[in-house]
Structure 1
Amino acid sequence: PPSNFWKGVAAVPSISGFQSGPAYFVNVYDTSFGGFWSGWGYSALNDTTSTSYATNELGCIAGKGFNQSNIYGVAYVGSNEVANRIKLAPGSIPLGFYITNTTIAYRSMQNGDAFAKKFGGTTGNDPDFFKLNLTAWYNGVPKPDTVEIYLADFRDSNNSNDYIIKEWTWVNTSLLGMCDSLTYTMSSSDTAFGFINTPTYFCMDNLSFFGNTVHQMEENNQLLAYPNPCSNQLHLVNNEEQEMSIHIYNIHGQQSAPFILEKNQTFSLNTSNWSPGVYFVQSSTSKQQSAFKLIKQ
């Protein structure tokens, strides 16, 4: 591929992609209508001004990857649902990722272009928005919780609160819990004949996961935890006939001191000083690893 970006295998109908950690980013190349790609590519482009699709389609408005990294992911969200997907190792728990706009999408919303309007309109009062909608799946079933990310939002009555994301911005996905894929759609206030006028691209970097690939807790019932949600105390019961190592992480991946539960032991944790939010409890024996999401009220 070109040294500064990759967006699929041209000239041949194909479904391909690339692997990064436990995530596989899908790319589809379609030869109809002269050929076009959708799904995922990756890029090292640093042009924050050019709106040329020929040279800067995968350019990032932040100029670099997160934390000045050289490579970042770019998604083009088309109508092919096969392409609009990130495949994950079974039992993955995505904690979150960094997101920003492509240069082309950002400049389109900032200034308007031949197809799309300037966000806010001529008066600056139009309640425009550009949004990514993220859904997690497990065993072919969509999970009930979803994540909405506004890449631009002009809906506030106070125009000083209007924004188009320009820097890398953290997106927390921990509420999605365990899943084996992520799918996404985009929506915009700027549409015509049922189609989005705003260029449907976004950039992603540092998709982060809790621990390693783990098995879903309900399948083995090796650790019982109650109550969940908890307030002041959490009770852990080891149902295994062997000792179990316990690790507890917050949504930022920070770990409390690990400890051992002996076989058939019940242990109570004082959680009164924990900050409210989402935690992950990971248990390990010589046979397997498991994890589940815990809510602290």
Structure 2
Amino acid sequence: MLRTTTMMIALLGCFFGQLKAEIIVDFEDLSLDADSVAHADASETPFVSQGVEFNRLWNSDFDCCPSAWALSNKTDIVTAGFTNQHAAYVSPQGGGVDGSTNYGVANNSYAGHALVFFPEPTALLGTYVANTTYSYLAVVDGNDGAGFVKGPFGQGDYFRLDFMGIDEQGESTGTVEFYLADYRDGKADAVSEWTWVDLTSLGPNVSRLEFQLESTDVGDFGMNTPAYFAIDNLTLVPEPAGAVLLFPALLSLAAVRRRWAGR
């Protein structure tokens, strides 16, 4: 009994000794001129904040059209349309979380989707999410600057962002849904501030994040709602080596202890 208890304590000590401090990816470690954006060019070089990699894509067929991730500090919450695609819609002043400067803007396009890569298996605590001005004004005012959207959202409409965790083997660890705009069941809500999304249900072994956007406003060529969103303060805890293997061992030792106690 004493030996078993001692072993359990020792293993627990090893486990908690390996725990790592949380990392907050706030993009403030990256340099950016005032009121500007750093999107993809032909090199498609990703940007890295706090060791976390964000892909950037470029349409080589037409030598144009950056997509996936961009680093931004734009604050324009008034101008509708594609020319203002990289501003987070955060009323009333724009900008990052709690008055910070930089944040990330994602765009899923026909050229590819936004991805986030972690340097090691990771437990995600969550992230702050916002609409972009481009998508917000398209949803709320029916103004995308080009007339592609059907008009302002009405009852039954929604604009949803799915966070999908992927492990080292390429298998899903789960999906978290978040509504950037929700006009179902009598609601008329569109996100107009940085809003926390809990990602803990994706588990402790996330190697990359994928994203899916879905809207009820669709046309002949797919979704009409601009396929954009913004994030800031992505918060994670890298998984300590061996923690996943240790957990079943602790359960086994606990069972042994119960058997000893029953004698």
TM-score in same-fold range (> 0.5): yes
Cα offset for 1:181? 0.4
Match of 1:139 among 168, 177, 184: 168
Question: Which whole-Å deviations, capped at 9, do the CAs of 1:198-242 have from their partners, x for residues lacking one?
Answer: 0010010000012x4522534x43773339xxxxxx9599xxxxx
Match of 2:208 among 177, 181, 195: 181
TM-score, with length taken from structure 1: 0.67
Aligned to 1:43: 72
How far apart, CA to CA, are the structure 2 residues paired with 1:179 and 1:236?
29
Cα offset for 1:30? 1.6
Aligned to 2:177: 148
Aligned to 1:72: 103
User: What amino acid does structure 1 have at the position aligned with 2:148?
Assistant: F
Structure 1 residues 88, 50: CA separation in 2 closer, same or farther (over 3 Å shift)? same
Contact 1:129 1:152 in 2 (8 A): yes
Structure 1 residues 118, 215: CA separation in 2 closer, same or farther (over 3 Å shift)? farther
Question: 4+ residue stretches of structure 1 with deviation over 4 A?
Answer: 234-237
Alignment of 1:91-240 (within 5 A): 91-113=121-143, 114-121=147-154, 125=155, 127-156=156-185, 158=186, 161-177=187-203, 178-210=205-237, 212-215=238-241, 217-218=243-244, 220-221=245-246, 224-226=249-251, 235=254
How far apart, CA to CA, are the structure 2 residues paired with 1:187 and 1:141?
22
Aligned to 1:271: none
Contact 2:59 2:111 in 1 (8 A): no
How far apart, CA to CA, are the structure 1 residues paired with 2:77 and 2:140?
13
Structure 1 residues 140, 37: CA separation in 2 closer, same or farther (over 3 Å shift)? farther
Cα offset for 1:101? 0.3
How far apart, CA to CA, are the structure 2 residues paired with 1:170 and 1:236?
39
Bigger strand share: 1
TM-score, with length taken from structure 2: 0.75
The SS at the match of 2:150 is coil
Structure 1 residues 52, 188: CA separation in 2 closer, same or farther (over 3 Å shift)? closer
Bigger relative contact order (CA 8 A; separation at least 6): 2
What are the ranges of 5 or more consecutive residues in structure 2 without an aligned counterpart?
1-31, 259-263
- 140-149 vs 103-112, greater mean Cα deviation: 140-149
Bigger helix share: 2
Question: Which whole-Å deviations, capped at 9, do the CAs of 1:136-181 have from their partners, x for residues lacking one?
Answer: 111132324211111001111x2xx220000110000011112110
Contact 1:106 1:164 in 2 (8 A): yes
What are the ranges of 5 or more consecutive residues in structure 1 without an aligned counterpart?
228-233, 238-265, 268-297
